[in-house]
Amino acid sequence: MEFSIKALSPEKKKTGCLVLGVWQGAALTRGAQIADKASGGHIGGVLRHGDLSGRSGSTLLLHSVPGIAAERVLLVGLGEQKEFGEAAFREAIRTAASGLRNLGARDATLAFADLKVARRALPWNVRHAVTGIRDAFYRFDSLKTQKKPPVPPLAAVTLAVIGAPATMQAERALREASATADGIDFAKTLGNLPPNICTPAYLAEEAKKLAREFKLGYEVLEQRDMEKLGMGALLAVTRGSRQPPKLIVLKYMGGPKKDKPIVYVGKGITFDTGGISLKPGAEMDEMKFDMSGAGSVLGTMRALAGMRAPLNAIALIPTCENMPDGNATRPGDIVTTMSGQTVEILNTDAEGRLILCDALTYAERFEPDVVIDVATLTGACVIALGHVASGLFSNDVKLCNEISAASDDAWDRVWAMPLWEDYQEQLRSNFADMANIGGRPAGSITAACYLARFAKKLRWAHLDVAGTAWKSGREKGSTGRPVPLLTRFALRHAGVK
Ligand code: BES
Ligand code: MN
Ligand code: ZN
């Protein structure tokens, strides 16, 4: 889907569908007023019949509107004009996109993307219009033999700006958003793929393909390399699996060579049964999404490389399966991590932190500027923050604030949680330096506290995306989060507005 941004008068555009905004109370937006005038008052007349109130979420499709070059006109309710903020704008984009999905139009022109959103400027609207529409048009049906009736291929979308020329920043926002949407789609597809296809080797192959397409540095560490490095925690998790583990390294060097890289570490458990501490059977299929951290880190690399972002970033992905087996790690086993610290594995289902801790130690060799790990780490985080915000933990206040600001900008929300020393004692072990679990209270915090013990030499943050990386129920599927956040963070951190 190609996006463009153009200064134009909406009635003149030859397009499959012209999308106009209508405020609550059936008042026309500026673009709609211009179109209404050209139509000789036709649009206003339809509204006076009471067919569209302008309530947010409502739509009305008109055909053969006089004086309008477009084949159809889709009117979209925007809600109250004086309350038009970020949430209302994003909702209007979603409504427009789902309206467009049900049409035969091959191209569309959106005439409300330049409306003033409180606190925001045009580039923000552009980014959210593009990613919102791309999100609505994402499909995962490669494994269905009966494809749904072909979704009309909406090949091109024009964002019309009315009255003023499109700015350079808006053009750049458009390219940034298209690349971000490619990264989001990529992460979604990796997440949605079944665990018999999306194995550690498959993730490594996909990373290699990205490396070829975008000329990235690529390296993969095999089990024998992990053994040489002493990654006892990562190796403990993979023991029960027939699938060989991988540690994938992907390097994008778009900035000055001397600039220290951002290192993104993604949890890549391609299936989490819990191991010997076996999970209950209900909904266990969803543990295929336990590689969502890895998927989002790969998606972010794709986004950054696709837009040629002026910065250096490295993806580091420890990936394996967590399976029960005669050779699997037992509760009570003690292992030595790459850092030299010993861990008593009291619960084999707390495996994410085990693969991440060795990856964090390995990250030191890249002399990173900052390290951010992304993991579907704890069910407790879902209890704390639900499916709205990802949990944010950091050992650096400035980094924490930077991530929060990027998250607000990307509307990919996080909430900062404490990492106080007071919680560390929950990880006490009688037999090793620490246990890998801290009991039921504050489960997402003690998981982060465990990781913090391996990040002492780093400016580090941890994102627990257990509640945000995928949806359950009827809408089951990967969300692609937090690709929007990680991409925006990297750009802002590099000084791109
Ligand atoms: N992958 C899970 C976390 C998870 C659970 C994400 C449910 C989304 C939904 C993780 O490996 C896990 O099993 N964590 C345990 C930790 C516990 C044993 C301390 C959990 O959250 O129950
Ligand atoms: Mn687990
Ligand atoms: Zn897990």
Q: Whole-angstrom Cα distance, residue 305 to residue 311?
A: 10
- Ligand 1 centre and the CA of 377: distance in Å? 6
User: Does residue 379's CB lie within 6 angstroms of at least one atom of ligand 1?
Assistant: yes
Left, alpha or beta for 25 (phi > 0: left; psi -120 to 50: alpha)?
A: left
Q: Which atom of ligand 1 is the closest one to the Cα of 322?
A: 11
| Cβ pair 275, 452 in contact under 8 A | no
279 in active site? yes
Q: Are residues 341 and 449 in the same domain?
A: yes
Out of 128, 162, 196, pick the residue that ends a domain. Answer: 162
Q: Are residues 146 and 242 in the same domain?
A: no
Kindly state if the Cβ of 182 falls inside 6 Å of ligand 1. no
| Residue 142 placed within a domain | yes
- Cis peptide bond upstream of 482, omega within 30: yes
CB neighbours of residue 80 within 10 Å: 13
Give the up-direction half-sphere exposure of residue 359: CA atoms within 13 A in the CB hemisphere: 36
Residue 166: the pLDDT is: 84
Is 347's C-beta closer than 6 angstroms to any atom of ligand 1? yes
Question: Rounded CA gap, 288 and 73, in Å?
Answer: 42
The helix/strand/coil state of 134 is: helix
- 344 and 244 inside one domain: yes
Structurally, how many domains does the chain consist of? 2
Evaluate: CB of 226 within 6 angstroms of ligand 1: no
Task: Please confirm, yes or no, whether 330 is among the known catalytic residues.
Answer: no
The residue to which tokens 């900008």 are assigned: 409
**Residue 180, SS3 per DSSP:** helix
Query: Same domain for 157 and 197?
Result: no
Residue 201 lies in a domain: yes
167 in a domain, yes or no? no
* Per-residue pLDDT tens listing for the chain (497 residues): 999 999 999 999 999 999 999 999 999 999 999 999 999 999 999 999 999 999 999 999 999 999 999 999 999 999 999 999 999 999 999 999 999 998 989 999 999 999 999 999 999 999 999 999 999 999 999 999 987 766 668 999 999 999 888 889 999 999 999 999 999 999 999 999 999 999 999 999 999 999 999 999 999 999 999 999 999 999 999 999 999 999 999 999 999 999 999 999 999 999 999 999 999 999 999 999 999 999 999 999 999 999 999 999 999 999 999 999 999 999 999 999 999 999 999 999 999 999 999 999 999 999 999 999 999 999 999 999 999 999 999 999 999 999 999 999 999 999 999 999 999 999 999 999 999 999 999 999 999 999 999 999 999 999 999 999 999 999 999 999 999 999 999 999 999 97
From 276, 278, 323, 349, mutation site for ligand 1 pocket: most ligand atoms within 8 A of C-beta: 349
Q: Provide the CATH number for the domain around residue 218.
A: 3.40.630.10
Among the candidates 133, 162, 191, a domain finishes at 162
Do 282 and 148 have their domain in common?
A: no
- Set 12, 101, 279, 492: catalytic member: 279
Q: Give, for 190, the enclosing helix (H) or strand (E).
A: helix 168-192
Considering the domain architecture, whether residues 428 and 351 belong to the same structural domain is answered as yes
The pLDDT of residue 151 is 61
Please check whether residue 170 lies inside any domain of the structure: no
Is there a domain that residue 243 lies in? yes
Determine phi and psi for 435, rounding to 5 degrees: -100, 165
| Residue 403 domain flag | yes
Q: Choosing from 251, 353, 453, 481, which is the catalytic residue?
A: 353
Helix (H, G, I), strand (E, B) or coil at 416: strand
Q: Is 114 in the pocket of ligand 1 (CB under 6 A)?
A: no
Task: Check residue 497 and give its pLDDT.
Answer: 78
Residue 330 to residue 345: CA distance in whole angstroms: 8
The answer to whether residues 402 and 271 belong to one domain is yes
> Is residue 207 located within the same domain as residue 158?
no
Instruction: Out of 234, 378, 390, give the residue to mutate to test ligand 1, the one with the largest number of ligand atoms within 8 Å of its CB.
Output: 378
Q: How far is the CA of 271 from the centre of ligand 2 (A)?
A: 9
Read off the CATH number of the domain in which 127 is found: 3.40.220.10
Q: Last residue of some domain: 127, 162, 197?
A: 162
Q: Which ligand is nearest to the CA of 447?
A: 1
Helix H or strand E segment including 218: strand 217-221
State which residues form the domain around 27: 2-162
Domain-located, residue 136:
yes
The whole-angstrom separation of Cα 216 and Cα 299 is 13
- What pLDDT is stored for residue 163 in this prediction? 84
